[in-house]
Structure 1
Amino acid sequence: MTAPRISDRAAHADKRPFLVARAAVTAAIRGHFARADFVEVETACLQVSPGNEAHLHAFETTIRATDGASAPLYLHTSPEFACKKLLAAGEERLFALARVFRNRERGPLHHPEFTMLEWYRARAPYTALWADCADLLRLAADAVGTDRLAWRGIVIDPFAEPEVVTLAEAFARHAGIDLLASVAPGGETDRETLAAAARAAGIRVAPDDTWADVFSKVLVERVEPKLGMERATILCEYPVCEAALARVAPHEPRVAERFELYACGVELANGFGELTDAAEQRRRFEAEMDEKARVYGERYPLDEDFLDALPHMPDAAGCALGFDRLVMLASGARRIEDVLWTPVAELP
C-alpha cells in the first residue's frame, strides 16, 4: 500500500491530533529539564563515526573541502559521543532532542530518521535515571491529558511506579533459564550452556548461533513480550558483553550498569552508568566492529576524539529515549509515522 503524500489534506487532518500531541510533549519535556537545571545542547549530525554497535547501520556521506579534498562522514545514530565530549568539557547536566539516523530500519516502531531524547547527569548513579524515566512517562501523559499509555490493545498506568527486574530474574521468570550460569566473572560467555538451556525451554537454536544470538532470541521471544504490561518495567543489570558503553556493576562482575525501559511491551529507553576507561572502551568497540565485519562485511571507524575525552569525563549516568515512541503511547497512535510531521519517503 502506497503511503499518502505529505500534502494530502485528508491524510494530514487524520494525523494532526497526534502531531499536536507531539508538540505538547516536546514543550513539556523542555520545561521539565529546564526546571531541573539541565542545559539543552545541539550536536552535529555529521560525525567521523556513527557509533560502534555491531548491528546498527548508518548512512554514509562525503565531506568535501574547497580545494577538492574529501573524507567520509556519517549521520550519527545517536548524539552520545558528542554529549560525552561535552561532559568532559565541563557540562554537568545536559539533554538533547536530537534527530538521528539508522539505516535498514522501518516498521511500526522504527523509522530511518527519528528523534532521540538523550540526557546525562554528572556525578549521579544510574539508578537516578530510573526516576527520570518514570517522570517522563507521567509528563507525557499529563501533556496530552490522558491517564494511560496504550499500544496494540495493551494499556498501562503511566503514574504507577515502574517495576524493577534484573535480566537474570526476567530470564528465570519468563523462560526458566539461569542466565548468569553462562557468564563468567570476567564477562566471558559460555555459548553451549546458554544454548542447552534455551533448547530445554523450547527455543530453536541454530548451529551457527553465537551466545549473543541465543541471548537475543530468549529476550525477544520470551522476555520482552511480558514487560511493561500493567505498569512500566525497568529491566536492568545486563551481562557485560551486552553493554558495550556501560561500566561493570560493583556488586557483580558478570553484569553491567545498563537498563532498558519498557511500556506496553515497547522498548522506550536505554540507559547506562557510563564507562570512562578509554582502553576498555576501545577493546569493546573493536570487538563490536569485528562482529560487524563477520556478519555484514563492513566496519565503522572509531572516534579517537571521543576515546581521548573519556578519561576527562566525570562519573556520569546517561539515557537515550525514543521520543517518537513515547508520543505514540501517550497519544494512542498506531505507528511511528503517525507522529512524524514529514516521514522519509519509502523506497519505490
Structure 2
Amino acid sequence: MSWKPSAGIKALQQRAKILQTIRHFFITRDVLEVETPVLSQAAVTDIHLFCFKTHFNGAQISSAKPDRQGLPLYMQTSPEFHMKRLLSAGSGCIFQMSKVFRNEESGRFHNPEFTLLEWYRIGFDHFRLMDEMDQLLQLILNSQPARRCTYQDAFLEILDVDPLAATLEQLKKSGERLNLGDVLNNEQDRDTVLQLLFCFAIEPVIAQDKPCFVYSFPASQAALAKISPDDPRVAERFEVYFKGIELANGFHELSDLQEQLRRFEKDNQLRAQKGLAQMPIDLQFIESLPFLPDCAGVALGIDRLVMLATDKKHIDDVISFTIKGA
C-alpha cells in the first residue's frame, strides 16, 4: 500500500494549467462559472448509467414525518439537470467543472469519481457548439480542426451497414468479425446492438489523426436532445472522439416537458424489463423545461482531455488519487 498520489507532481501541475486555460477560455467569452449540488433526491434514468446512492440521516430530525431509513440521495452522474434549471431561471450562458460519480467500471479511461466540464450556450444549436468546442480542443490539444461525420456515415464507412435502415439481423451480421461471441446474438434491443457496434468497431479507428464530431444520432438515442426537424429518424446530438477516446457528448437541448417526461418514463420501463432498479425522475427539472431558452450544451471529460494533452496512457496518471488509493 502506498500513500503517494497516483499522478506525478509534474502531471498535476500540467493539469492545473489546463484548468486555468479552460476557465480563461470561457471568461473571455462572458460565460458564467457556476456550482451545483453533487447530491440530489432524483437520479438519471438512462439504462447505461449507474448512480451511487446514500441517505441523509439528518432528515429524520428536520422532517415532520421522519423516515427511519433517512432521505435517499443520489450522487450526480452529471450536473446537467441543475444547470438547466439555472438556465431556465435566467442565468445566461454558463459553465462548470465539477466532480461527478458513476458506479461503474474502473480502468484505463474510467474512475468512479471524475471531473466533468459542462457548458451551455444560449442561442446556439449543436453545430455552433461544435464550432466552439473545436476551438477549445485546438487550444488545449494543439490539434488540427476537427472532422465531422454523421452517425450514419460512420457506420457506412466502417461497417458498410446503414444504422437507420438495417434490420436487427443485418446489424448483428455486420458485427460478426468483432469476436463478441453470443453477446450480439442474444441481444434483442436494437440500440444496445448499435452501441456495441459503435464501441467495438467505430471508436477504436475513428479520429486517429484529428478529433472527430459524430452527429445526428438515432432518434431512439436522443436522451435530452431535440429531434431533427429535417429528418425525424435522427436527434440533434453529437459526440466527440480523438485517438480512440470518447471525449464529449452534446445536445441541441430539448425543452418539451411532455416529451422529456415520456423519455424518462420509457427509460424506467426498460430498466424494469432488464431487472434494474427504476430511478426517481427529477420532476423539478421537468417543470423548469418550458422556461429553458433555446440552447445547446455539452459535457467533456476533463481527465481524458488531460490524458491526451499530456500524452498519458492511463487515467491514473492524471488524477491525484484513484479509487484504489483514496
Return the TM-score normalized by structure 2. 0.91
Q: CA deviation at 1:342?
A: 2.3
Which residue of structure 1 lines up, in the alignment, with residue 108 of structure 2? 108
Structure 1 residues 176 and 313 mapped into 2: Cα distance closer, same or farther (>3 Å)? same
Give the % identical residues. Answer: 37
- 1:86 and 2:86 are equivalent in the alignment: yes
Which residue of structure 2 lines up, in the alignment, with residue 144 of structure 1? none
Which residue of structure 1 lines up, in the alignment, with residue 224 of structure 2? 245
Q: Aligned partners of 2:264, 2:127: CA distance in 1, in Å?
A: 25
Q: CA deviation at 1:296?
A: 4.2
Which residue of structure 1 lines up, in the alignment, with residue 15 of structure 2? 22
Q: Displaced runs of 4+ in structure 1, greater than 6 A?
A: 200-203
Q: Aligned partners of 1:279, 1:300: CA distance in 2, in Å?
A: 18
Contact 2:159–2:174 (8 Å) recurs in 1? no
Contact 1:181–1:193 (8 Å) recurs in 2? no
Which residue of structure 2 lines up, in the alignment, with residue 191 of structure 1? 168
Contact 1:177–1:201 (8 Å) recurs in 2? no
Contact 1:61–1:74 (8 Å) recurs in 2? yes
SS at 2:234 equivalent: strand
Q: CA deviation at 1:169?
A: 0.3
Residue 257 (structure 2) aligned to one of 278, 302, 321: 278
Structure 1 residues 262 and 75 mapped into 2: Cα distance closer, same or farther (>3 Å)? same
Unmatched tracts of structure 2, length 5 or more: none
Answer with 82-91 or 216-225: which moved more: 216-225
SS at 1:226 equivalent: coil
Which residue of structure 2 lines up, in the alignment, with residue 75 of structure 1? 75
SS at 1:178 equivalent: coil
Q: Aligned partners of 1:103, 1:21: CA distance in 2, in Å?
A: 28
Q: Match for 1:172: what amino acid?
A: L
Which residue of structure 1 lines up, in the alignment, with residue 305 of structure 2? 326
In the TM superposition, what whole-angstrom CA distance separates every residue of 1:301-328 from its partner, at most 9, and x where no partner exists? 0000000001110111000000010001
Q: CA deviation at 1:197?
A: 4.9
Q: CA deviation at 1:218?
A: 1.4
Q: Aligned partners of 2:178, 2:230: CA distance in 1, in Å?
A: 29
- RMSD (Å), alpha carbons: 2.0
- 1:295 and 2:279 are equivalent in the alignment: no
Q: CA deviation at 1:335?
A: 0.9
Give the alignment of 1:82-231 within 5 angstroms: 82-141=82-141, 147=142, 158=143, 160-182=144-166, 191-198=168-175, 205-231=184-210
Which residue of structure 2 lines up, in the alignment, with residue 39 of structure 1? 32
Q: Match for 1:328: what amino acid?
A: M
Contact 2:257–2:286 (8 Å) recurs in 1? yes
Structure 1 residues 200 and 176 mapped into 2: Cα distance closer, same or farther (>3 Å)? farther
Q: CA deviation at 1:295?
A: 2.3
Q: CA deviation at 1:203?
A: 7.0
- 1:52 and 2:45 are equivalent in the alignment: yes
Structure 1 residues 27 and 258 mapped into 2: Cα distance closer, same or farther (>3 Å)? same
Structure 1 residues 345 and 195 mapped into 2: Cα distance closer, same or farther (>3 Å)? closer
Q: Aligned partners of 1:80, 1:97: CA distance in 2, in Å?
A: 12
Q: CA deviation at 1:207?
A: 3.0
- 1:256 and 2:235 are equivalent in the alignment: yes
Count matched residues: 317
Contact 2:218–2:233 (8 Å) recurs in 1? yes
Q: Aligned partners of 1:20, 1:139: CA distance in 2, in Å?
A: 18
Q: Aligned partners of 1:49, 1:331: CA distance in 2, in Å?
A: 36
Which residue of structure 2 lines up, in the alignment, with residue 265 of structure 1? 244
Q: Aligned partners of 2:113, 2:306: CA distance in 1, in Å?
A: 15
Structure 1 residues 208 and 342 mapped into 2: Cα distance closer, same or farther (>3 Å)? closer
Q: Aligned partners of 1:251, 1:202: CA distance in 2, in Å?
A: 37
Return the TM-score normalized by structure 1. 0.86
In the TM superposition, what whole-angstrom CA distance separates every residue of 1:22-46 from its partner, at most 9, and x where no partner exists? 1000000011100000000000000
Residue 212 (structure 2) aligned to one of 222, 229, 233: 233
Answer with 289-298 or 321-330: which moved more: 289-298
Q: Aligned partners of 1:302, 1:111: CA distance in 2, in Å?
A: 25
Contact 1:87–1:314 (8 Å) recurs in 2? yes
SS at 1:165 equivalent: strand
Q: CA deviation at 1:136?
A: 1.8
Contact 2:178–2:200 (8 Å) recurs in 1? no
SS at 1:206 equivalent: helix
SS at 2:126 equivalent: coil
SS at 1:256 equivalent: coil
Q: CA deviation at 1:222?
A: 1.5
Q: Match for 1:163: what amino acid?
A: R
Q: Aligned partners of 2:324, 2:177: CA distance in 1, in Å?
A: 44
SS at 1:225 equivalent: coil
